[in-house]
Amino acid sequence: MERTLRQTWAFMFRGYHLTRRYISWVIVFNFYALTGSAAVALIGVAANDHQLTLTLVSGALLWNFLSVLYNEIAMSVAYERWEGTLEYTFMAPVSRLVHLAGLSLFALCNSVVNTAIVLLGLMAFTDLTVSGANVAGVVVVIGASTLAFVGLGVMAAALPVLSPERGAEGTHIFQGSLLLVSGVYYPVEVLPAWIRPISMLSPATYTLSACRKLIGVGDPATTPQRLAGAPLSGVRSELLVLVAMGVVLVPLGLWIFGRVERWAKHTGRLKRTG
């Protein structure tokens, strides 16, 4: 157990050192996330619509958290290939579960910090309050959705292993597809009928729906001074779906990644740089 914890910590600490090495890019991406979220939130402010502003702010914050979590895991293999350490990592005497667990924990910490920065920035651009919101319930829902997005990230991380030339691009296409169908900035009901069923397969759809209820979005009792957040029991169905998705997607992601890894080792793909 001690050895496993030390190995997991080592992968987390490596992520920290990589962040320090590229701190200028980290600052740029955080600045872009803040300005992009603020620009979206100001659409609601310009419309003088408190409910619309809440919808946009909650969407921007939750999508920022989930997308950073997903992207950090999904791009981990691409980062390793660019650093020239991919073959050494995959040949190290460390289980793939420990390796991916360390990456996922670092991605989670990175997402929390990134989202906190965006939240503080949005408070300077919008006059919103969290009074009356079920903050504890939001944390529970985000915790449940984290497992599902870790599973998606691990599956997407197999793409750069599968294709050194196009795999990294594929992770972003998948991420953009989730953004489109999950109702981040608009209700999924406005999607064309032919694509609407796909939204039911995205864990972000249930995360956004549940968190907005817990914040009080759409509740007539919500005012600019106080939110009318729903109790956790009011989002039981979304929470159960998220837990079920996490239970399915995490093992499925590990299985897919393991199969792709073995194939890459047999075909010599690890050494290729594109």
Contact 127, 32 (CB under 8 A): no
- Domain with 64, as residue range(s), is 2-267
The verdict on residue 37 lying in a domain is yes
- Which of helix, strand or coil describes residue 79? helix
Confidence at residue 179, expressed as pLDDT on a 0 to 100 scale: 93
Confidence at residue 222, expressed as pLDDT on a 0 to 100 scale: 86
The verdict on residue 39 lying in a domain is yes
Smallest CA-to-CA distance from 79 within 1, 26, 151 is with 26
The verdict on residue 272 lying in a domain is no
Confidence at residue 42, expressed as pLDDT on a 0 to 100 scale: 93
User: Which residue ranges in the chain fall short of pLDDT 50?
Assistant: 274
**Euclidean distance between the first and final Cα of the chain, in Å?**
38
- Tokens linked to 183: 């109702």
Contact 260, 248 (CB under 8 A): no
pTM of the entire structure? 0.88
Confidence at residue 271, expressed as pLDDT on a 0 to 100 scale: 64
Confidence at residue 270, expressed as pLDDT on a 0 to 100 scale: 67
Contact 211, 130 (CB under 8 A): no
Q: Count up the domains in the chain and report the number.
A: 1
The verdict on residue 273 lying in a domain is no
Q: At what angle do helices 50-74 and 76-83 cross, to 10 degrees?
A: 50
Smallest CA-to-CA distance from 271 within 91, 102, 93 is with 91
* Single-letter amino acid code for the residue at 138: V
Q: Measure the CA–CA gap between 27 and 38, rounded to whole angstroms.
A: 16
* Single-letter amino acid code for the residue at 242: L
Contact 60, 118 (CB under 8 A): yes
Contact 273, 80 (CB under 8 A): no
Smallest CA-to-CA distance from 74 within 162, 142, 168, 144 is with 168
